[in-house]
Each structure stands twice: as C-alpha cells, then as structure tokens.
Structure 1
Amino acid sequence: MMLRTLALLLSLPLAAGGQDSKDLARALAGPTNAAPQRLMLVDLPRPAGARIRLFDGKSLDGWQPWLGYADPGITYKGDPVATPIGTLRDTSGDFAVRTVDGEPAIWVKGETWGSLVHRADLRDYHLRLEFKWGPKRWAPRATLPPNNGLLYHTHGRPGEVFGTWQPSVEFEIMKGSTGMLVMVGKALRAHTNVAFDDALIAPHLRFRLDGRMVDMINGTPTWNVEAAVDAEKPEGEWNVLDLYVLGDRAVHVVNGVPVAEARDLAVIGADGKRTPLTHGRIQLQSEGAETWFRRITVEPIKRLPKIVSARG
C-alpha cells in the first residue's frame, strides 16, 4: 500500500482544486463506502498517574509565546520574505488570562499569527481542554471559518514552519473541521485511513475507520485529512477536546466523538530515514480568530482507547 500511494502521488498532478484534485483523491482513497459513519470510543484507559494542570488559572506560567509575521497575509507565500516577530515584543495584547463565563481562561486574540508553546515535553498521555470562539476575526481570514489549532509532538526550532510555528502534528480547531489531522512541517509523516468525499475542498479526503490507508505527507495531497464528522457545538458554546497519545499513535476526540486516528507518526531525516515521533510539547495556535481555552489538563496513560463503529 505504501508503494502504491507514493506512486500515485508522484504520477498524478498536484492541483489546488478542480477535477484533477478529485481524480487524485479518488485514486488514493479507492472505492468509498457511502454509509454514514457513526463512531464510538470504547475501552477508555485508566490514568496511570496524577492529573496535571497545564493552565493554572492565574497566569501563563509554563507557556512561551511566539509570533509570526506582522502581516499574516505573507505566511504561506513560501520562502521567508520578512523577519518574524518571534519574542521581540510584548505579547500581553496577543495572549492573556482573562475571566469569561465566570472562570479564568487563556485568551488568544488571533490578529497576529503564532502560538503559545508549553514547556513540558509530553509522551503517552491523555490531554483534555475546552475551547470556544470569541466574536472577533482578522484578515486575511476575516471572512473564512474561524481557525485555530492544538499542535502536539512539537519539536524543532521556533518559527521553523512558515516563520510562525514549530514542526508538529495538528489537532485542527476550525469551524466545521475540528479534529482534522494535519501535518505541520515538511518532514512529518503519519498513516491514517481515508475515504473520498466530493463535498470537501481539496484534498477531498475524510477520515474513515474502514477506509484505505494513506501516508500523510506535507506538501502533497495527503497533507491533511478531514475529521470523520463535524462534532463541534454551535458557536459561542464550549467544546471539549480529548487527545490521546501513545508512542507514535494518536486519537482525536471532539465532544466525546472520535473523529480521527493517526498511526506511525514520524519525522523523515535528511537521509530519508523514518524516525518514530513519540513525544514533544503542545502549542495553542493563533490564526485569525479570537479563541478561549480553559481547563487544560494532562494525565499519563499506558494504552489508547479504541474507535469502533456504532450499531443501530
């Protein structure tokens, strides 16, 4: 399957949209089961140790801010054409602890793109947080669905990816796509199962438990895979995200609904060697939308929960 997928990636045209991208997605995904997916999470692991709060409810202690370009519109234009802000300015107007709905939360303004990176190097864990959208949106994404992200297995240099983020795996937080699996960085790899979905924009691939395995490769049509279903609550309500990570595997859960699964997470070295990616820090993104985060906790686990098809 690996050789077949790579051959398809090399032989078919890479297109941003249109029929070429759909043909490629169909070829990668193979015949699609048209039955709706109803997925459940079972065999939840017991905590293997104490629960730790990554947000103390009082301050941003333990979190390091990083900001990308003053003009976020140049972020995806390829080679750097400017110097990132990085840590060179006061970021209290970008990230702060504020009270919302009667409880402290991390406020992310979203106007300047970047992230808060937690200092803890995490492995084999269950992370839980709650998020909700604020009302403000910023160019160049002001008219697009609000976008943010929980990035995990963070490694490498600050700003290594588009001058704005560190290489990592993304648990996407975007209206309509929360839980989507994304490779952030050119050297990232993962396996997941997909089906073709004509309703999606390119790459037209959605996670499907009984789908065909693909190798996710940044810079190719498999660089992201849409969540199995949209399990996000209406805008203005709090959503609960659960991320289960064990070694080089991960499970994404939105409001109790499993929506994605990754296997064989890895980094590709300059020599082409695939090294398992099993640990790293987390990042809370800032990418054009005001966002609130609260109740961020992590606890160790020794096994992953299972995703199964619900009956009935």
Structure 2
Amino acid sequence: MFKTLAFTLTLTLAAPAVAQPRLALTDVPKAAGPSVSLFNGQDLKDWDAWLGYADPAVTYKRPPIAPIGATARSAEIFKVVAEDGRPALYVNGRIWGSLVHKGDFKNYHLRLQYKWGKGRWAPRETQAPNNGLLYHSHGAPGVVWGTWSQAVEFEIMTGSIGMVVPVGEAISATANAVDDPGIIKPNLRYSPTGRVVTAKGGAADWNIEAYSDAEKPAGQWNTLDLYVLGDRAVHVVNGVPVMEVRDLRTDGQPLTHGAIQLQSEGAETFFRDIVLEPITALPRVVAK
C-alpha cells in the first residue's frame, strides 16, 4: 500500500454508492504452454526476502535509518507452514516487507489462494487486514519506502480486494473510473463505463478502487486470478472481475514484465497454489 493510506485507512471502506450491474468474465484464454508453480510447498528457495523498518510506523516518514533489508530476520516473517492440512506460504505481517519471486514473467495468468490469519500488528492492528499481490516488480529491493520493490499492486485488503495501486513514484496505471464519495480519497472506483483516469504512485490520484467486494468471510480461502498481457491486466476475485488496467508504465515507458512480489503489511496471511501459465490473450469483462 502507498503513503496516502498511512492516514486514511481508519475510514470504513464502502460498497459502491450507486447500484451497478454485475460483471462477468468471458473469452477466458486457454494456457499457451505448461504451467509453472511459484511455490514448491517445501521452502522459499525461489524467493528473495526483504524487510523494511523494525517499527513499521516510521515507514512513510523517511527515517534517517536503514531498513532491516535482506537478513536472516526474514525467517520470522516469511516461512512455509501447514494450514488446513496443506503446505502454505505464511506471511506474518508484524514487520513490513516483501517476498519477491526470482523469476521474470510476462503474458501470463497467475492464480493463487489466500486467507487471513488472526494476527494484526501495529500501527494497523485496528484497521482492515492488508496485504498485496504485486506484479511487474522490478528495480532495487526496498526502493519504495525502504520496504518494497517498484510494481503494480493487486490490492489484498478487506473491502478493497483487487484495487490497483502503483507502487513507486515512477509507476502509473490507467483505467476507467467513476467518482464514489463513499470511499477513501481520491474517491475513484473502477467502472467499464467510467471516464479515463491514470493513477500514479505518490500522486493525488494514487489508486483506483475495485468495482465490487467479492471477498469471502474471514477464515475462508479466496482465489485470485491475475491476467496480464503486455501493459494490460485484469484482476479477478473469486471468479468476479473487479478491475481492468492498461497503459502500465514505469518512468513513462511501457511496463510489460517483472517479478511477482507478496507483501507483508500488518496482517497474518496464508498463500497457497501459486500457479502461473502463459497466455496470448486477455479475457473480456462484460456487464451481466
């Protein structure tokens, strides 16, 4: 999540202010090649860990101290556990940071499952549980607020699953959106029939909220599908499309590939079945 959220997350995230038609996914592409599992269920040898500051409350204050970085302390935050009788990738959330897969990917369908644990940590212990699936990750680790790599975020936060957030001041993403005064600033919600809006890291228009809330109740596993083709992407939550983005950019240049990054950001989270397969087309999002 980005700087603006440091003082806005105490607001209640609302459903769309105006009733909207349900969205559906059609023309779902078939895999264009063999799938790749990004989580082997045994260890994290395919991932690089990075930790931000020991006290996450200083993250957005540009502190004159170095982040923890890549050290053995990451084993406190990221590990492989058994959950519901199966291997899962556990993210503790107490220290903010990132787990970045070593691969570099483009033109793919990524599917994973997540569910929330019970832990909530300062400074967000009373706020909506928060994490993130970041894609097209690139650049130096911790370059964003000492904690994350530059990327485009598929938000994982209760009430906002699928929201798009450019992570890093060089990153931007374009979508159609409508004004919704019932949500946090900049009060923009994705809608296929909305006006064209470009969100940019660190700017006033720093995010675009998901079309609808398709998350399951706490304690249940949720399925996320991310379809990426070139500089475009579709975010899907439990089979419901909630976001279409295009013109993904870094420093104004097309952003078409990068690593997969999982955040640690204040809430215990479990991930499993992280599978990626190549595609040559995006699905279509239509109103039902």
- What's the TM-score bracket when you normalise by the shorter of the two chains? over 0.9
2:36 corresponds to: 52
- Counterpart of 2:269, as a letter, is T
Does the Cα contact within 8 Å between 2:17 and 2:180 map onto a contact in 1? Answer: no
CA shift for structure 1 position 203: 1.2
Q: Which moved more, 1:188-197 or 1:133-142?
A: 188-197
Deviating beyond 3 angstroms after TM superposition, the runs of 4 or more aligned structure 1 residues are 32-35
1:176-215 to 2 correspondences below 5 Å: 176-215=159-198
1:288 corresponds to: 266
CA distances 1:207-259 after superposition (whole Å, capped 9, x unpaired)? 01100001112222221011000000000000000000000000000000000
1:63 aligns with 2:47: yes
Q: How large is the RMSD of aligned CA atoms in angstroms? A: 1.4
Match of 2:86 among 103, 106, 124: 103
- Counterpart of 2:23, as a letter, is L
CA shift for structure 1 position 58: 1.0
Identity within the alignment, %: 57
Does the Cα contact within 8 Å between 2:104 and 2:259 map onto a contact in 1? Answer: yes
Does the Cα contact within 8 Å between 1:149 and 1:172 map onto a contact in 2? Answer: yes
CA distances 1:69-124 after superposition (whole Å, capped 9, x unpaired)? 011001112x3422110113332211110001010000111000001100000000
Task: Name stretches of at least 5 consecutive residues in structure 1 with no aligned partner.
Answer: 1-15, 18-31, 269-273
CA distances 1:8-27 after superposition (whole Å, capped 9, x unpaired)? xxxxxxxx88xxxxxxxxxx
Match of 2:226 among 243, 247, 253: 243
CA shift for structure 1 position 205: 0.7
Match of 1:85 among 68, 79, 88: 68
Aligned counterparts of 1:168 and 1:121: Cα–Cα separation in 2: 12
Aligned counterparts of 2:85 and 2:257: Cα–Cα separation in 1: 34
2:3 corresponds to: none
Match of 1:139 among 122, 132, 155: 122
CA distances 1:22-54 after superposition (whole Å, capped 9, x unpaired)? xxxxxxxxxx99441310000000100001100
Aligned counterparts of 1:263 and 1:91: Cα–Cα separation in 2: 34
2:4 corresponds to: none
**TM-score (norm: length of structure 1):** 0.86
Match of 2:246 among 263, 266, 270: 263
- Counterpart of 1:106, as a letter, is L
Which protein shows a greater Rg? 1
Q: Secondary structure of the equivalent of 2:225? A: strand
- Counterpart of 2:84, as a letter, is D
- Counterpart of 2:74, as a letter, is T
The change in CA–CA distance for 1:33 and 1:286 in structure 2 (over 3 A counts) is closer
Q: Secondary structure of the equivalent of 2:114? A: strand
Aligned counterparts of 2:98 and 2:232: Cα–Cα separation in 1: 23
2:281 corresponds to: 303
Task: Name stretches of at least 5 consecutive residues in structure 2 with no aligned partner.
Answer: 1-6, 9-15
Aligned counterparts of 1:221 and 1:210: Cα–Cα separation in 2: 22
Aligned counterparts of 1:295 and 1:61: Cα–Cα separation in 2: 16
Aligned counterparts of 2:198 and 2:93: Cα–Cα separation in 1: 31
Aligned counterparts of 2:187 and 2:60: Cα–Cα separation in 1: 21
- Counterpart of 1:159, as a letter, is G
**TM-score (norm: length of structure 2):** 0.93
CA distances 1:165-217 after superposition (whole Å, capped 9, x unpaired)? 00000000001111000010001111101011111021111101100001112
